[in-house]
Amino acid sequence: MSLVVYGAAGVFALSCVVLFRRPGSPVLGTLTVSTCAAILLGALVLVCSAPPTLAAVNDLTGVVNFGAPLTYGMLSAYSCALLVLLVNWRGGPRSRIRRRVLASMAAYALLIAVLVALFTLADAPDERLTDLDTYYANTPFMREMILLYLAGHSAATLVMCAVCVKWGREVTGLLRTGLRLILAGSLLDLVGFQLAKYTAVVARWYGHDVDFLSTTLAPPMASLGALVCSAGFVLPRLLPAAVAQWRGLGDYRRLGPLWALLRFAPTSPKPPASWWRSPRERLQWREVSIHDALLALAPYFDDRVREREREAALRAGRTAHQARLAAEAAMLTDAARRAAAHEEPPADPSTYRLRATQVSGPGALVELARTLGRSPAGAPAREGTVRAAHGWTLAEDEETHVP
């Protein structure tokens, strides 16, 4: 059981790291900080509730069952963090958000203080690592502490369910999916953890023993509910960025044929290589470098090559757009060959502008790269360009070292 709890805590922490490192997000944004705070507190609750952790805390502090108020306090702080996250996520006037956040924090800070006070007043000499709630269900002050932490957690859960149901009617898309996940996780926690705990404790009051509900059923249900709930908070914020990164990686790869043709041309200095650079960052650098190379090759553009290829494409039954792309690919291939071989530019310089330099975003560059990749002359031209560029580099080096 402890492995399950620790595993869930690890998933919590990993999701927090991924969210905090999400490219393009304000690292210290209020929503990011509140999301990470809620997830980290949830992970701490799971870690603190595991029997090995409880035993270690008790031994370290020298106070029998000290892990109980620590865990209950963490759970109360987690409940408060969820409410704060909901308030920040819902948005609204800054003054209203501030009032609600401060009210939630004050209420749960008072709750934690009362929990600690009740534990101090209680007499709980026997260490209980798995069944403390039911073992001390009839013990003065411990009984009140147990009921109070459950009530505080239930209040936050019910508020979350109500907000999710109400807000879910007003939104669509990923936000609605996230709210449904939060609602599902909250219901799992409410039924699988809280109701099980209440039932086991009340049964003890009347002399019955259904401790398995508290010791066997409640912990995994709490872990599952917390994970589903955290997925609801993270998904609407993380999935769009993940999709954008995936598309960026695809565009980066699709620009390969175009970059292979132009990489010999002078471009902006490449940024230092870093393994953590995102696909979007790599794509942006490749876009900038390709545009620089296209600008450098512009004097070698030959309108005759472009017009000849365009007319051939139209005769072959291609659309005007396809013919234009084929013509531009042929002209660009010819220009790259001329530049790499150090030939003279055409006597009549072209003023033509490539479509890829007139349209923002990588879409037009990707279309041009695809056309180059499908062109029968594309591969030989690229190989010739690389060989010519390599020979040109060697020749320059030899000239540099001539005494």
CATH number for position 107: 1.20.1070.10
**Do both 267 and 304 map to the same domain?**
yes
- pLDDT at residue 333, rounded to an integer: 92
User: Which of 400, 390, 277 is CA-nearest to residue 342?
Assistant: 390
Backbone φ and ψ of 275, nearest 5°: -65, -20
Which segments of the chain have a pLDDT < 50?
23-27, 378-381, 384, 386-403
- Give residue-wise pLDDT tens across range 67-77: 999 999 999 99
Is residue 251 in a domain?
Answer: no
- Give residue-wise pLDDT tens across range 142-178: 999 999 999 999 999 999 999 899 888 888 888 899 8
Is residue 107 in a domain?
Answer: yes
**Do both 271 and 195 map to the same domain?**
no
**Do both 91 and 233 map to the same domain?**
yes
Is residue 90 in a domain?
Answer: yes
- pLDDT at residue 397, rounded to an integer: 38
- pLDDT at residue 267, rounded to an integer: 73
Is residue 248 in a domain?
Answer: no
**Do both 222 and 340 map to the same domain?**
no
Backbone φ and ψ of 395, nearest 5°: -65, -40
Write b or e for each residue in 143-173: b if 16 or more Cβ atoms lie within 10 A of its Cβ, otherwise e. bbbbbbbbebbbebbebbbebbeebbeeeee
Count up the domains in the chain and report the number.
2
**Do both 58 and 198 map to the same domain?**
yes
Going from the C-alpha of 179 to that of each of 186, 214, 265, 379, the distances in angstroms are 10, 28, 51, 51
Q: Count Cβ atoms within 10 A of the Cβ of residue 5 and give its class: 0-12 exposed, 13-18 middle, 19 or more buried.
A: buried
**Residue 266: partners with Cβ closer than 8 Å, 6 or more residues away:** 292, 293, 296
Write b or e for each residue in 257-296: b if 16 or more Cβ atoms lie within 10 A of its Cβ, otherwise e. bbbbbbbbbebeeeeeeeeeebbbbbbbbbbebbbebbeb
**Do both 291 and 224 map to the same domain?**
no
Specify the residue for token string 């031994």.
59
**Do both 280 and 386 map to the same domain?**
yes
Contact by Cβ (8 Å): 57, 66: yes
Contact by Cβ (8 Å): 252, 283: yes
Structure tokens given for 20:
């905090």
CA 360 to chain centre: 26
- pLDDT at residue 344, rounded to an integer: 85
Q: Which of 239, 273, 304 is the last residue of a domain?
A: 239
CA-angle at 73, arms to 113 and 154, nearest 5°: 100
Q: Count Cβ atoms within 10 A of the Cβ of residue 351 and give its class: 0-12 exposed, 13-18 middle, 19 or more buried.
A: exposed
**Do both 297 and 221 map to the same domain?**
no
Enclosing domain of residue 77: 2-239
Backbone φ and ψ of 139, nearest 5°: -85, 130
Helices assigned H by DSSP within 22-141:
30-49, 51-61, 67-90, 94-121, 132-135
Is residue 247 in a domain?
Answer: no
CA dihedral 118, 123, 129, 130 (to 10 degrees): -80
- pLDDT at residue 331, rounded to an integer: 92
Is residue 160 in a domain?
Answer: yes
Is residue 254 in a domain?
Answer: no
Contact by Cβ (8 Å): 287, 259: no
- pLDDT at residue 92, rounded to an integer: 82
**Do both 63 and 207 map to the same domain?**
yes
**Do both 147 and 278 map to the same domain?**
no
**Do both 275 and 233 map to the same domain?**
no
- pLDDT at residue 39, rounded to an integer: 83
**Do both 307 and 194 map to the same domain?**
no
Structure tokens given for 22:
């999400």
Going from the C-alpha of 13 to that of each of 8, 71, 233, 260, 303, the distances in angstroms are 9, 18, 14, 41, 59
- pLDDT at residue 205, rounded to an integer: 94
Is residue 130 in a domain?
Answer: yes
What is the rounded distance in angstroms from the CA atom of residue 152 to the CA atom of residue 187? 16
Structure tokens given for 81:
């963090």
Fill in the amino acid letter for 347. A
- Rg over alpha carbons for the chain, rounded to the nearest Å, is 32
